[in-house]
Structure formats: C-alpha cells, structure tokens
Structure 1
Amino acid sequence: MLKLKYLFHNNDLAEMILKNWSYDSDSLGMFQYYRISSNAVYPFRDQGEVHLLRFAPIEEKNQTNLAAELEFLTYLKLNQYGVMEAVPSHTGKELVEAHTPWGMYYASVFKRVPGNQMGSIDLTDQIVRSMGEALGQLHRLSRDYTPKQTKRWTYTDVLDWMKDVLGEFPSETAALNEIEVLQDYFANWPVTQQNFGLIHYDFELDNVFYDEESHSCYAIDFDDAMYHWYAMDVEQTLDSLRDEIRPDEWEQKKGILLQGYWREAGDTYDMESMFPACRRFANLYGYIRVLRSGAEQWAHEPEWMSGLRVRLDKARAAKAKQFGQQQNFQLPPK
C-alpha cells in the first residue's frame, strides 16, 4: 500500500503521465473510476478499447522489480496464459519514468483483461475449479521460467525490507521478533523446483477475472510477485475465497479448488502443512505495510483520510494479535 499522502486523486497528474501513450481524448472522463492502493490505476480507451494506466512514485517502488514483473508477464503471455498485457509507450518502453511537477513516477499501461472479477460473480463449483487450475498452471509455468534480464525479489528480500521499515519504529518489538522467527524457520524449509519459484502473491478474488465465454481465468496485478514457496500463493487464494463461501460449504469448495490446482500443477505433496507459516508471513507483511503507510500524520486531514486511518488501525491491531502464535511449526517434508 502506498503512503497515505499518495492516495489523493489527481486528474492532471494522470493525464500528464498518459501523454506518453496513445489514447482517445474523449475517454478521459473514465478517470472518475480510478482506484489507488499499491498503485494509482486510471482507466481510459485507446481506439475504443479499455486500457489501464498504472503509476506510483519512484520512492515507493523498486525499478528492478517492475522490470522483472513485465518480463514475467511477457513470458506468461507467450505461453498462452491468461494475463494482462503491457502496452508500449510512444518510445517503445513498457515502463516509463515520468517527470512531473508532483515528482517522478514509474508508469505502465495494460490492456483490460476479459471477463468479470471473481469477487463480483457467483462462485460456482466450475468457477472455483477454474481458479484453482489457473493458479496451478501459473506455478507450472513458473517452474520452467528463467529471467533473461532482471530477477524479482525473494521472500528473504521482503523480510529484510520489513526489518528496514521497522528501523523507523523502535517500539515494534513484537513485529521484529516475528521477522526473526520466520527468518529462522524458513531457513530450514526444503527448496525444490517442485515447491519453490516465482509466485503471484496476491492471487485473490479481486485480481482474478473469469471469462464466461471461454470458461477461463485471467490474472492481473503481479505487483507483489516474489520468489517464495508455491504454498504461499495457494494459502493466499484460499484465504481470499474463505470470506465468500458459506461455512457449511467451505471444505467442499476448498477441495474443488485444490483439485483444480493439482490437476495443472503436477505431482502432489504435503503443501497444507506449509500453510500456517505462510499465513503468518502474509499477516506480518500486511501489518508492516499498513504501519508504514499511515506513519505520517497531518493536521486537518480530509474526512476520507481520517476514516481510512481508523480502518487501517483496526486492521493492524487485528494482525498484531497473531504475532507469536503457532510457534511450534513442523518442517514440511523434503
């Protein structure tokens, strides 16, 4: 999540950055449907087709990670995987450094994928199975992927980043201890081609679209991708799905998703024993991102920001309650 000071809607900034690409000038009214979280995303049209402008301040992003994301997307597209497609700028670049009166930004444009967000449709057995298959196919392709230019960061880089952030918050001893526990624990996990590779990390209902016509899924927003155990992706997906399924149907839907996953991913192994530690990693990562996002405060904040701060504080408090839980992990099988 971006720092709160970057969450302001700015039509002029978006239009200035968009001038690096082709667009239909009469489609800028679509900017009203913007969203800002980990990036600012503004929809528009080019020759009648919906595209999405994505940008963020350079101090909020890692250029190497962004370049690696774009390279991975190209690889997936070449292998017929349903994924968002980057659109080159006027200068032929998929990643643009935009100099603006508001600072420097990294920006890219993507074509809109077909279908509807999984979070907005009825999650039938067929659709849940399709989501599992899409994740399994993603991991199968990841196993054969070797970056040509740049490599995405790893879970160890993310843990180091968390520790750096906490250097600004000396009272956060519980979170720091959580980092050290996970560093020690993950250091003993087996790393194989079958269980470890480049993951999406945020393969959740809002980032997966289901196309009714082709009965297939399309994944968007690889902004959080990292090298991690594939179990991390599966646990995140199940956690996202759990909130949308009735408790009496949960075990059945979980089984259907995992069945679809293994159908595409290949030989099964005891992945579920890895879920508790993965959930703990996600909880900690979310906590520290929220902590960093809301650290700065200003007098006379707008009402929306004050309301958002209250919600973020509640979410952070809930995550903090999980620190120190499940200390006695079992190591996954080799």
Structure 2
Amino acid sequence: MEHSVEKQFTSEIMNKILSTYQLDTNFKKLGDFENYAFEVYHEGEAKILRVTHSSHRTQKELESELDWIQYLHGCGISIPAVFLSPNGNTVEAFQSEDSVFYASLFEKAPGNPVKLVDFDEKLFRIWGKVIGKMHHFTKNYQPGENIQPRYQWDENDLLRLEYYYPKSDQEALKAARNVVAEIEKLPKTKDFYGLIHTDVHAGNFFYDGDSIHIFDFDDASYHFFASDIAIPLYYFLISKHLYGTRGERNEFAREFMQAFLEGYREENELSQECIETIPLFLKLRDVDLYSVFSKKMPAEERTERIQHWIAEIKERIEKNVAIVDLDLNSNLK
C-alpha cells in the first residue's frame, strides 16, 4: 500500500467501519497490497472485510464488481457471498481528510490456501472447470439497475506504460506497446470476450481437496477469455519454477494445460482460435507486472527473488517471447 494511503488509514477510520457493520472490535489483518483485507467477526463468526482507498477504485467501480459477484454466486459458482451493510449497501464510504475509504463485507471462503504439494492434475482440472463455468455464465450477465459496467481491459491503469516504465527502458516500452497493439486487433465476440476475473492464480482461491473457492475480484474487467487461462498457467510456473530452465517450464506447462483444459471444456466450449492467443496473454502479464513492480515496489525494497523476476520479465518483453513455449497444434486440442 502506498505510504500516503497508510497515513490516512487511521484507527479512527477502522473503528467507524467496524461500528457501521456492527462487527466485533477484534480483527486480524490479512493483506494490504492494493486493498486492505481483514478477518473480522460478527458475534464470533468470521467474515472478510475489504477496505479500498478512493485512489484505487471509485464507489461505482466497487459496486459493479460486487454486482457481478452476486450474479455468479447466484449461478452456483463457489465464491464468497457479499453481505449488505445494516444500511442495505454493498459498499459503505468513510471520509478521511480529502479522500475516501470504501468498505465491503464478504463471507469467509472455506478451504485453505494452496500449497506446492497441492499442485497436481486433480487441482488443475478443478481449476479449469471453475473458470470454464464462470465464462459460461458470464456470457449472459447484465449489470443490475444503476450499476456502472466494469471497465474494458485496455482501460487498466497499468497499461499507462509511458508513465510506469523507466525512461531508460525504451526497448521494453516499444515491445510492450506492440503486445498491446496485437491484442487490440482480436475479435470481441461473445465466445471470445466478456467480463472475467482476470487474476485467478493460486493466491486468490482456497482449496478444500474437492473444490476451489475463488475470491479477490478487484481486477475484474471485460477481457478476453484466453487471459483467464493464461494467468493460472503463468503463476503456476512462477510458483514452481521461478528459477527453472525453459525446458522444465515447458514440461510442467504441458501437464498443467492438459488437465486444466479438460476441466474447462466440461463447462464451456473452447475454440482453437482462443487457445492460439494464450501466449499473447502470457506476454501481456509480463507487460502488466513490469508496471506493477515500478508502481508498487521501490528498488530498495526489492528482494533477490523480485530482482530476478523483474530481470526475466524485462528480457522476455524485449525479446517478444512468452514465459513458456506451448505446442498449440497438438496437446492442447
């Protein structure tokens, strides 16, 4: 979280939020990267409180995210329910100096965080199945009354590349622009494009051995379905083989994609044209992350692992290659 936001998020603001939602005064902080996340309690029952600063999202943007979550939850997809405040709102606003903090309350997802030992064909298949189911139902989603539609993929703040890429990285900047330009040419048909989560990596769901329970829909946007397939693959490879060779990544990518796509196809049709764009969205994740590290992580705070990651990303962007080589004409059909 930016230091300027941290200074404004006082104990007084937190106490107002707890009081408004009639929550117990004890809580546990879970995260603070782009939003604050807390485990809170109502009469001893655990729930999840998310607090967002107005520099990150507007109230309308948050309400549109929660409208979609409620729709998917109603379709039987295992995602945490949204709780209304005592005032009947999905989002409550709290003034702080010259800005605002927005609070929303969610059901706590069942299951547990995913561990490396959980990465097997069963999990990959379930992972694909849930995303396929989300894509199937999102095709018929219509925003509720007075709900502002979520933004389009190319309205993402991280794609202000000239703003986030260091001035010394002109070669990477030019190559990144070309990736974005390629994606802009893709058709936005109903079976190719729609409102998606955009960030279903293993850190954004819990696993109970039989099902995954997805959360953190903060980055949901109208995007290409192939992106929701590329992102799980990308972060799986980073989790398992940040320091691995390209050959090792290729081998594990084949195992992952075969099981993942089997599960996906149980819930949603997947064209060969869609599959063939997956490498392009692996490249886009590199483009996005290069902006993320510039925006969120000063050089002096970067660990050896992060420095290695950034160096690899920059090299791939400049060479116009994805994190892995996929045999798009054989094992993914």
Q: Give the structure-2-normalised TM-score.
A: 0.82
Which residue is 2:258 aligned to?
255
Question: Cα gap change, 1:120/1:209 in structure 2, threshold over 3 Å: closer, same or farther?
Answer: farther
What is the letter of the counterpart of residue 88 of structure 1? L
Question: Cα gap change, 1:210/1:309 in structure 2, threshold over 3 Å: closer, same or farther?
Answer: closer
2:152 aligned residue (145, 151, 154): 154
Which residue is 1:74 aligned to?
70
Which residue is 2:227 aligned to?
232
Question: Cα gap change, 1:190/1:45 in structure 2, threshold over 3 Å: closer, same or farther?
Answer: same
Q: Report Cα offsets for 1:18-41 as digits up to 9, x if no partner.
A: 22212123xx1x42x431111111
In structure 1, what is the Cα distance between the partners aligned to 2:303 and 2:124?
34
Worse-matched range after superposition: 83-92 or 100-109: 100-109
Contact 2:233–2:256 (CA<8 Å) still a contact in 1? no
Shift of 1:238: 1.2
What is the letter of the counterpart of residue 157 of structure 1? E
Contact 2:37–2:48 (CA<8 Å) still a contact in 1? yes
In structure 2, what is the Cα distance between the partners aligned to 1:63 and 1:202?
21
Shift of 1:315: 4.1
What is the letter of the counterpart of residue 67 of structure 1? E
In structure 1, what is the Cα distance between the partners aligned to 2:80 and 2:121?
25
In structure 1, what is the Cα distance between the partners aligned to 2:122 and 2:308?
35
Contact 2:52–2:101 (CA<8 Å) still a contact in 1? yes
Contact 1:291–1:316 (CA<8 Å) still a contact in 2? no
Shift of 1:52: 1.3
Which residue is 2:207 aligned to?
210
In structure 2, what is the Cα distance between the partners aligned to 1:322 and 1:124?
27
Question: Cα gap change, 1:290/1:245 in structure 2, threshold over 3 Å: closer, same or farther?
Answer: closer
Question: Cα gap change, 1:75/1:102 in structure 2, threshold over 3 Å: closer, same or farther?
Answer: same
In structure 1, what is the Cα distance between the partners aligned to 2:263 and 2:140?
20
2:318 is the alignment partner of 1:318: no
**What do you get for the CA RMSD once the two structures are aligned?**
3.1
Which residue is 2:245 aligned to?
none
Shift of 1:276: 1.9
In structure 1, what is the Cα distance between the partners aligned to 2:307 and 2:155?
26
Gaps of 5+ in 1: 298-305
User: SS at the partner of 1:231?
Assistant: helix
Contact 1:262–1:268 (CA<8 Å) still a contact in 2? no
In structure 1, what is the Cα distance between the partners aligned to 2:172 and 2:320?
15
Where in structure 2 are the equivalents of 1:250-329 lying within 5 Å?
Answer: 250-294=253-297, 306-308=300-302, 315-326=309-320
User: SS at the partner of 2:279?
Assistant: helix
2:22 is the alignment partner of 1:18: no
Shift of 1:7: 5.7
Question: Cα gap change, 1:322/1:5 in structure 2, threshold over 3 Å: closer, same or farther?
Answer: farther
What is the letter of the counterpart of residue 123 of structure 1? F
Question: Cα gap change, 1:68/1:165 in structure 2, threshold over 3 Å: closer, same or farther?
Answer: farther
Contact 1:153–1:227 (CA<8 Å) still a contact in 2? yes
2:51 is the alignment partner of 1:48: no
Q: Report Cα offsets for 1:183-223 as digits up to 9, x if no partner.
A: 421232122111111111110111122234xx222110011
Which residue is 2:130 aligned to?
134
Which residue is 1:96 aligned to?
92
Where in structure 2 are the equivalents of 1:23-42 lying within 5 Å?
Answer: 23-25=23-25, 28=26, 30-31=27-28, 33-42=29-38
In structure 2, what is the Cα distance between the partners aligned to 1:314 and 1:10?
35
Question: Cα gap change, 1:122/1:102 in structure 2, threshold over 3 Å: closer, same or farther?
Answer: farther
In structure 2, what is the Cα distance between the partners aligned to 1:120 and 1:88?
35
Which residue is 1:198 aligned to?
195
